């Protein structure tokens, strides 16, 4: 029999239906049994009169909560039932998969175990509607991003994640055995994005895994995460990238808002708003002035850079001054940026680069890239790199590479910002950290 979703039961009064879902609660009484069934669309009460089928009653008594069930019965309107005034009179029950008793923890309890313990039993934690919503939002968010890219002539690429040479610094790379030699997991698709520019793709994006061997124990770091990257040719400066990015992000927010606004409000207490464009922009020099005015003291060794506290302070500042959750911080010193960021023609100590902060959290780094072979080589040397290992990359700039720029964004960090999540471990399907390889 065709499955009926719980949300559609109200249209099936006096009909026989089949529900498929989990046993949320069992109230096993003397003459009656009540099974609360949950599917993705809601909860429904199933009633069973024990004397009508004593054998079935016995089976029901053995069920553990969270068992996976198929239930068939007649839908009746009954105003006594507090759950929507509807119940199913049980006729048939198939136990698809009984749940052992006791559960490692009850996902629907008022008090939840520590998050680390819940990560051990991630699939149970994900049964909570709130957690499923995060990934429904993520799906819609990515769809909104893709819509916008596709409408603007972007091509999707999938770059390799196994690399033969440590590309940038090499400090945070995972080594893997590769037959009889060593390979590395990609810590960024950066070089391959730029290869597509040299290839004449003009505009490309990639959503894919990124690996960082950072032993970071914070609420916003992972050793494997999903990177959202795009790169575009024929730009005049990093400003072109920022303009595209803010409109792209606003579109993605709009799509999410249209589909999930009320659910997000209900589960996260966030009244989601589509961000106003353009986002405020602060040069690093301006950011320093603002921090000074706020009496925020940066550690002296952070010269030219921002620490997380400074980022939070700037986030507060733009919220107050501009009512914006987002702010671009631009024109970072070359000393704190990678060698391939383009320098400002009128001030070669600064780069044509930007970070995007969302509610004071760094979610994006972007820049115009240096596309002149000789200049790029010199910048690499200035950073103390040897050219030989990156020669394949440098070659992209020898035979007609257009000016270009782009950015990289952390998908889970964006979700943290969007849904006000306290830790990235909630924003990712399965968390990977220095001490977490399971599940």
Partner RNA sequence: GGGGGCGUGGUGUAGUGGUCAAACAUGCGGCCCUGUCAAGGCCGAGACCGCGGGUUCAAAUCCCGUCGCUCCCGCCA
114 alpha-carbon distance from chain centroid: 22
Closest approach, Cβ 398 to RNA, in A, equals 25
Nearer to RNA, 217 or 399 (CB): 217
At 292, which helix (H) or strand (E)? helix 284-293
Picking from 297, 393, 283, 398, the residue whose alpha carbon sits closest to that of residue 338 is: 393
Instruction: Provide the terminal-to-terminal Cα distance of the chain, rounded to the nearest Å.
Output: 35
Closest approach, Cβ 397 to RNA, in A, equals 21
Nearer to RNA, 99 or 261 (CB): 99
Closest approach, Cβ 99 to RNA, in A, equals 10
Closest approach, Cβ 295 to RNA, in A, equals 17
Nearer to RNA, 4 or 67 (CB): 67
Give whole-number Cα distances, 349 to 269, 334, 379, 406, in Å: 44, 6, 11, 20
Closest approach, Cβ 307 to RNA, in A, equals 3
- The DSSP output letter for 63 is P
Nearer to RNA, 21 or 227 (CB): 227
Q: Can you say whether the dihedral through the CA atoms of 12, 14, 20, 24 is positive or negative?
A: positive
Nearer to RNA, 13 or 101 (CB): 101
Q: Which tokens go with 103?
A: 């559960």
Rg (CA), the chain: 27
Nearer to RNA, 405 or 410 (CB): 410
| Biggest distance spanned by C-alpha atoms of the chain | 88
Closest approach, Cβ 261 to RNA, in A, equals 25
Q: Mark residue 391 as left, alpha or beta (left: phi above 0; alpha: psi -120 to 50; beta: remaining).
A: alpha
Picking from 275, 248, 251, the residue whose alpha carbon sits closest to that of residue 366 is: 248
Closest approach, Cβ 258 to RNA, in A, equals 25
Closest approach, Cβ 410 to RNA, in A, equals 3
Nearer to RNA, 29 or 400 (CB): 29
Q: Which tokens go with 354?
A: 């930007």
Nearer to RNA, 1 or 80 (CB): 80
Q: Which residues bind RNA (CB under 7 A)?
A: 25, 27, 29-32, 34, 45, 47, 49, 65, 78, 80-83, 87, 101-106, 109, 111-117, 172, 188, 212, 214-223, 225, 227, 299, 302, 305, 307-309, 311, 336, 362-365, 408-410, 412-413, 423-425, 435-436
Q: How far apart are CA 225 and CA 349, in angstroms?
A: 32
Parallel, antiparallel or unpaired: strands 86-97 and 42-49: parallel
Number of H helices, E strands in the chain: 12, 18
């Amino acid at each position: 029999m065709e499955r009926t979703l719980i949300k559609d039961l109200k249209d099936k009064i006096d009909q026989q239906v089949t529900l498929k879902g989990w046993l949320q609660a069992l109230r096993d009484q003397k003459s009656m049994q009540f099974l609360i069934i949950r599917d993705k669309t809601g909860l429904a009460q199933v009633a069973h009169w024990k004397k009508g089928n004593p054998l079935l009653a016995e089976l029901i008594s053995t069920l553990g909560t969270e068992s996976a069930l198929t239930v068939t019965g007649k839908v009746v309107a009954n105003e006594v039932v507090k759950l929507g005034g509807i119940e199913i009179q049980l006729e048939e029950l198939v136990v698809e998969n009984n749940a052992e008793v006791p559960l490692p923890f009850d996902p629907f309890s008022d008090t939840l175990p520590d998050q680390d313990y819940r990560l051990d039993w991630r699939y149970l934690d994900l049964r909570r509607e709130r957690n499923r919503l995060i990934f429904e939002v993520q799906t819609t968010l990515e769809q909104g991003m893709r819509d916008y890219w596709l409408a603007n002539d972007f091509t999707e690429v999938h770059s390799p994640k196994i690399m033969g040479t440590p590309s940038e610094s090499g400090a945070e790379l995972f080594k893997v055995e590769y037959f009889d030699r060593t390979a590395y997991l990609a810590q960024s698709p950066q070089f391959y994005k730029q290869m597509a520019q040299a290839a004449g793709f003009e505009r490309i994006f990639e959503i894919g895994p990124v690996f960082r061997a950072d032993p970071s124990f914070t609420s916003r770091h992972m050793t494997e995460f999903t990177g959202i990257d795009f790169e575009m040719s024929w730009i005049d400066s990093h400003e072109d990238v920022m303009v595209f990015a803010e409109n792209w992000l606003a579109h993605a927010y709009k799509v999410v808002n249209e589909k999930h606004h009320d659910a997000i409000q209900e589960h996260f207490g966030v009244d989601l708003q589509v961000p106003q464009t353009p986002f405020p922009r602060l040069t690093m020099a301006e950011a320093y002035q603002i921090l000074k005015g706020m009496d925020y003291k940066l550690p002296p060794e952070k010269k030219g850079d921002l620490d997380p506290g400074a980022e939070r302070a700037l986030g507060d500042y733009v919220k107050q001054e501009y009512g914006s959750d987002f702010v671009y911080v631009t024109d970072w010193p070359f000393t704190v940026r990678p060698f391939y960021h383009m320098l400002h023609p009128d001030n070669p100590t600064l780069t044509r680069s930007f970070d995007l902060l969302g509610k004071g959290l760094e979610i994006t780094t972007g820049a115009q890239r240096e596309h002149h072979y000789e200049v790029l080589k010199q910048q690499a040397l200035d950073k103390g790199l040897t050219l030989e290992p990156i020669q394949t990359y440098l070659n992209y700039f020898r035979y007609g590479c257009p000016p270009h720029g782009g950015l990289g964004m952390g998908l889970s960090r964006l979700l943290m910002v969007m849904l006000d999540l306290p830790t990235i471990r909630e924003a990712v399907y399965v968390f990977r950290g220095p001490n977490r390889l399971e599940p």
